[in-house]
Amino acid sequence: MTDTNPTIGNDQTMKVSFEFFPPKSPDMEGQLWETVKALQAVSPDFVSVTYGAGGTTREPTLATVRRLIAETPLATAAHLTCVGATRQDVQAVVEEFRAAGVRHFVALRGDPQGGVGSRYEPHPGGFENAAALVRGLRDMGDFEISVSAYPEKHPESADDAADIDMLKRKVDAGATRALTQFFFDNDVFEAYLDRVRAAGISIPIVPGIMPIQNLTQLKRFAGMCGASVPDAFDRRFAAVEGDAQGRAAVAADIAAEQIADLKRRGLDEFHIYTMNRAPLTLATLARLGVVGAKDRTEAAA
């Protein structure tokens, strides 16, 4: 398929950050480090590494963070959750990350131990929620602390007001940035941002961007986390059914169009969920004219 929309911008100043997850196999480890090498050329503001609820990826996360800090110039943030852990457990993990050179945490409550959709129960002696975790981190050191935000409401929040109240509690506890759950309707995000600002929350609210590696899998994941996926995406991908290169081009177009529209609305910082794959992220950034991004769309679908 011929790419009919190679560039929709020419941006040398836009800030981007990337999320990675710790690899679960030697093959996945190789893929991660190839991705890191490719995306390093973009000079992201920072990168983050996820951390499983209850510390299920503690050692792989720590190993990945250590290598990023030791072998790359990338500012590296470590995700941290409080599910299934005492305060002492969390503090011990923080000290390990601090010793590795981490000065930026992405503080999250984490999914319930029974999985998404099950009832969350705070661990006895642990941090009861993300706001308490942020306060605990702030008491432990002068860290940069990012937290989560939900343009379409966290599935467990009673309503939008309760959701924004939780964000405000995290900010009041010491959070310095919010990274949003992925979304695709920029009108929804703009309305959410208006409500956030009206609540007196002034920290940066950074849009989370999810380039679509696989539409079917994305829909399944979106259903679990309360995000909506436009019906128009089905039609766009149906037009390139059976064409891997075409699917990758459509996915990059969608992500670049979303970012370009958000920039027109005054946003200049974006957090990209890479899924440990470089081609689609690079193709998206190349369409936006970001320095260091080469237009590579192969094998992204």
pLDDT beyond 50 at 301: no
Band of the pLDDT at 297, cuts 50, 70, 90? very low
Q: Judge whether 154 lies within some domain.
A: yes
Band of the pLDDT at 84, cuts 50, 70, 90? confident
pLDDT of the residue at 118: 46
| Distance from C-alpha of 243 to C-alpha of 131, rounded to nearest angstrom | 46
| Distance from C-alpha of 133 to C-alpha of 233, rounded to nearest angstrom | 37
Mean pLDDT of 247-255: 98
Catalytic site includes residue 59: no
pLDDT beyond 60 at 113: no
Q: Judge whether 76 lies within some domain.
A: yes
- By C-alpha distance, which of 93, 95, 80, 88 is closest to 126? 88
pLDDT beyond 90 at 245: yes
Q: Judge whether 298 lies within some domain.
A: no
Residue type, 15: K
Structural domain that includes position 135? 15-287
Percentage of the chain surpassing pLDDT 70?
87
Mark out the alpha helices in the chain (DSSP H runs): 26-40, 58-71, 87-100, 130-140, 160-173, 186-198, 215-225, 232-238, 244-264, 279-287
Residue 216, helix vs strand vs coil? helix
Q: How many domains, in total, are found in the chain?
A: 1
| 231 within 8 A of 259, measured Cβ to Cβ | no
Band of the pLDDT at 1, cuts 50, 70, 90? very low
The mean pLDDT value of the chain amounts to 89
pLDDT of the residue at 96: 95
Q: Which of 19, 34, 59, 128 is catalytic?
A: 19
Residue type, 43: S
Mean pLDDT of 230-242: 96
Q: Judge whether 95 lies within some domain.
A: yes
Band of the pLDDT at 13, cuts 50, 70, 90? confident
Q: Judge whether 5 lies within some domain.
A: no
pLDDT of the residue at 54: 63
Element (H, E) at 181: strand 177-182
The CATH number for 140's domain is 3.20.20.220
pLDDT beyond 50 at 15: yes
pLDDT beyond 70 at 69: yes
Band of the pLDDT at 52, cuts 50, 70, 90? confident
- By C-alpha distance, which of 78, 109, 112 is closest to 95? 78
Percentage of the chain surpassing pLDDT 90?
77
Q: Judge whether 294 lies within some domain.
A: no
Q: What is the pLDDT of residues 122-174, one digit of tens each?
A: 667 778 899 999 999 999 999 999 999 999 998 888 899 999 999 999 999 99
| 19 within 8 A of 48, measured Cβ to Cβ | yes
Q: Judge whether 4 lies within some domain.
A: no
pLDDT beyond 60 at 233: yes
Tokens at residue 72, please? 């790359």
Q: Judge whether 151 lies within some domain.
A: yes
| Distance from C-alpha of 216 to C-alpha of 124, rounded to nearest angstrom | 38
Q: What pTM was computed for the model?
A: 0.91
pLDDT of the residue at 174: 97
- By C-alpha distance, which of 243, 247, 256 is closest to 297? 247
